[in-house]
Amino acid sequence: MAVSYKDLGLVNTKEMFAKAMKGHYAIPAYNFNNMEQLQAIIQACVETESPVILQVSKGAREYANQTLLRYLAQGAVEYAKEISGGKGIPICLHLDHGPDFETCKSCIDMGFSSVMIDGSHLPYEQNIIETRKVVEYAHKFDVTVEGELGVLAGIEDDVKAEKHTYTRPEEVEDFVKRTGVDSLAIAIGTSHGAYKFKPGDDPKIRLDILAEIEKRIPGFPIVLHGSSSVPQDLVKIINENGGKLKDAIGIGEDQLRAAAKSAVCKINIDSDGRLAMTAAIRKVFNEKPEEFDPRKYLGPARTALKELYKRKNIEVLGSAGHAYDK
């Protein structure tokens, strides 16, 4: 039987994005695959009073099971209420990089409040057809849909693109109109993973293309994928404790701050969380080799993750303090 996200206490992105646009900040979209990541996200967002988008990727669905992740998100709504004195925070459950209509439909039927249909690798007209089909189904249930135009460089699930194909500003108006999407992910030089630039590159994203896109679709919510900053202090801890991450470089936080103040309403961050957890776990393994209780290394990893997300909400996205905006 289909379940409505509304009965689970989740929200879609509509109101979140309208407020983020008005307030010149971006909503954090953090990926989760397990309980510790989810606890860290919820604790960080409750403590900073930030709305949040919980993202479930293809990898997450394969690793943890889509049904179980949905129940974890349902639990997260109750957990947020419990640790915030009953108020809760706005929580959206979002399918990240939905590969096709069937996957989007199955998430919508299961209680997700938002889905991405990633047709970015398809020819333009095909992308429109696929995206439109998902929008028609999703909107019947008041579920919001994110589409994508342009291709990010790097690895995205199983698809690897060598080079960025920047979003063409001249296409966005037509795409948004013909698909009916609620938000649009764009390619302006961000990419997935920890190796976004090579040493010697000018590590800049194309804020000029973003400005051009904003001019064509004023007030329309824009999404940035691949927005981890790869904090060098975390890379250092990993490498000092037996890791081997060479030349890992991310997006400067100053550029993300600038983007968050514009029409960018959602910023996707996954890799930085992976780095924070890995750094904390490696440190425990290195300094206390006698430990074998998973709580003794997953606990510190969860704390490190929470601190990272709190800092992101406050210093990068600007979403802190906006959970209860009217």
Answer whether 222's CB lies under 8 Å from 267's CB: no
Instruction: Residue 181: name the closest of 216, 136, 219 by CA.
Output: 136
Which span sits near Zn ion by CB under 5 A: 73-81, 134-142, 224-232, 239-247?
224-232
Nearer to Zn ion by Cβ, of 22 and 163: the residue is 163
> 15 to each of 173, 232, 325, how far by Cα in Å?
22, 35, 10
Do the Cβ atoms of 176 and 135 come closer than 8 Å?
no
Yes or no: say if 273 and 37 are a contact pair by the CB < 8 Å rule: yes
Longest C-alpha distance within the chain, in Å? 60
96 as an active site residue: the answer is yes
Within 67-126, which residues bind ligand G3H (CB under 6 A)?
A: 96-97
- Taking CB under 6 A as the binding criterion, the range among 16-24, 57-65, 128-136, 296-304 that sits at the site for ligand G3H is 57-65
Answer for which of 15, 49, 109, 157 binds ligand G3H (CB under 6 A) is: 157
Helix (H) / strand (E) containing 29 = strand 27-31
Q: Which is nearer to ligand 13P, 74 or 190 (CB)?
A: 190
Binding flag, residue 196, ligand G3H (CB under 6 A): no
What's the min distance (Å) between Cβ of 238 and ligand G3H?
17
List interacting residues with ligand 13P (CB under 6 A): 31, 96-97, 192-193, 225-228, 268-271
The two tokens of residue 244 are 């081997």
In 3D space, the residue among 214, 221, 227 whose CA is nearest the CA of residue 257 turns out to be 227
Q: Considering the complex, what minimum distance in angstroms separates the CB of residue 59 from Zn ion?
A: 11
Residue 59 in contact with ligand G3H, rule: CB under 6 A: yes
- Annotated catalytic residue, options 96, 182, 270, 272: 96
User: Distance between terminal CA atoms of the chain?
Assistant: 34
Stretch that binds ligand G3H, among 5-13, 54-62, 170-178, 198-206 (CB under 6 A): 54-62
Tell me the pairing of strands 144-149 and 183-186: parallel
| Positions that interact with ligand G3H (CB under 6 A) | 31, 57-60, 96-97, 156-157, 192, 270
Q: Which residues are catalytic?
A: 96
